[in-house]
Chain A
């Protein structure tokens, strides 16, 4: 009562249903590997009512415009081989179930691949097309399209087997206190979710909503762009988008959300 400010927190019990029919899991029991918390929550839960509502109907969700652009791209031939994504993969809907399991170990390449890496592998090796920039508009739109057809499915990345060492590397990064502010992801997103840091209501920093349409920059944002921003805000030297460090971090952070629904493209402030 005597406190200076009582920030208005959004209703943390709210449920997310898209287009009046697609029920999303925004709260789930924490996956077994995660001891620090008992429940995981989508970043949607922490946003204001107005921001949340934009994600509840595809006509209101500004991210869906970019999904439509990617649909056109999906069917357009590009590169020396004269192929489009559709030539080999038919309808984008055939990608349902792909987003929930990425980043994923690729046996042939002997590496953990993000969706972006896989898309560029198809472009370079199968279409003989130029790779897209890791966080370019074309790339983030295509990731949003592939995500959109899996909305509502539970995130379920594998962390064992050949992916384990990459996962361990990502975990180590998550708990390292970088930069002149000496802050780890965990300081903000594990120890303080639900709290205000200045004007920001801290979420668990989950990636199930990516790509994210941000009202702040009015475009779709890739996971690695967000990572970069958060690391930069600790007054640290960041890692590059698409770097092995961020790929490992993405696998680890994604695994912290195993059980939440794929939401991308989601809407955040």
Chain B
């Protein structure tokens, strides 16, 4: 297991090395390990991880209470977007939607008054990104399961 961990650590694309195309898509996976949709669902619904449901509704997750109304519902996201689009939107939505309110989940510097988590105290850049590279891949895998009809 330890060997596997260090192997995957070597193959992770660092936040400032991610290559976005002109539409904000990221073609290259951030890790060599394929995304796990079930793990992605947990990331999306857990406060302190992605907490995507704070802003988005997902009909198939109707057991998850208090889904937000800030962004569009994600039903059918897997039809609307390619894998590369979704990876880009999660890593840094502002590359796809200029000025978006959606946080950049795989970014570590360039903030105004960055904090140390939710302590209110100063943090030091580079900050750990909001999600790990593998968590981004897991969320992409989950979103690709959201097909309409």
Residues of A participating in the B interface, judged by any CB pair closer than 8 Å: 2-5, 7, 176-183, 187, 191-192, 195-199, 228, 231-238
A179 touches B70 (CB 8 A): no
A4 touches B62 (CB 8 A): yes
Q: Within 8 Å of chain A (Cβ to Cβ): is B53? A: yes
CB distance from A173 to the nearest CB of B (A): 10
* Residues on the B chain within 8 Å of A232, using CB: 115, 118-120
| Residue interface mask B97-126, A partner, CB < 8 A = 1 | 000010110000001111111111111000
The verdict on A4 contacting B112 (CB below 8 Å), with A197-B54, A237-B123 known, is: no
A2 touches B120 (CB 8 A): no
Q: Taking chain B's interface residues, is the majority helix, strand, or loop, or is none over half, making it mixed?
A: loop
A199 touches B69 (CB 8 A): no
* Residues on the A chain within 8 Å of B57, using CB: 3-5
Q: Give the interface size bracket for B toward A.
A: 35 or more
A180 touches B101 (CB 8 A): no
* Residues on the A chain within 8 Å of B117, using CB: 235
25 of the cross-chain contacts (CB-CB < 8 Å) are A3-B57, A3-B59, A4-B57, A4-B59, A4-B61, A4-B73, A5-B65, A5-B67, A176-B112, A177-B112, A178-B111, A178-B112, A179-B111, A179-B113, A180-B130, A181-B130, A182-B104, A183-B103, A195-B69, A196-B69, A197-B55, A199-B65, A199-B66, A236-B114, A236-B120
B69 touches A179 (CB 8 A): no
The verdict on A179 contacting B62 (CB below 8 Å), with A187-B101, A198-B53, A232-B120 known, is: no
B120 touches A197 (CB 8 A): no
The chain B residue sitting closest to A240, CB to CB, is B120
B120 touches A238 (CB 8 A): yes
B113 touches A237 (CB 8 A): yes
Residues of B participating in the A interface, judged by any CB pair closer than 8 Å: 47, 51, 53-55, 57-62, 64-70, 73, 75, 101, 103-104, 111-123, 127, 130
* Residues on the B chain within 8 Å of A181, using CB: 103, 130
The verdict on A2 contacting B115 (CB below 8 Å), with A180-B123, A182-B103 known, is: no
CB distance from B99 to the nearest CB of A (A): 9
B120 touches A237 (CB 8 A): yes
CB distance from B12 to the nearest CB of A (A): 19
The chain A residue sitting closest to B62, CB to CB, is A4
B62 touches A235 (CB 8 A): no
The verdict on A198 contacting B114 (CB below 8 Å), with A4-B67, A182-B104, A183-B101 known, is: no
* Residues on the B chain within 8 Å of A176, using CB: 112
* Residues on the B chain within 8 Å of A178, using CB: 111-113
CB distance from B117 to the nearest CB of A (A): 6
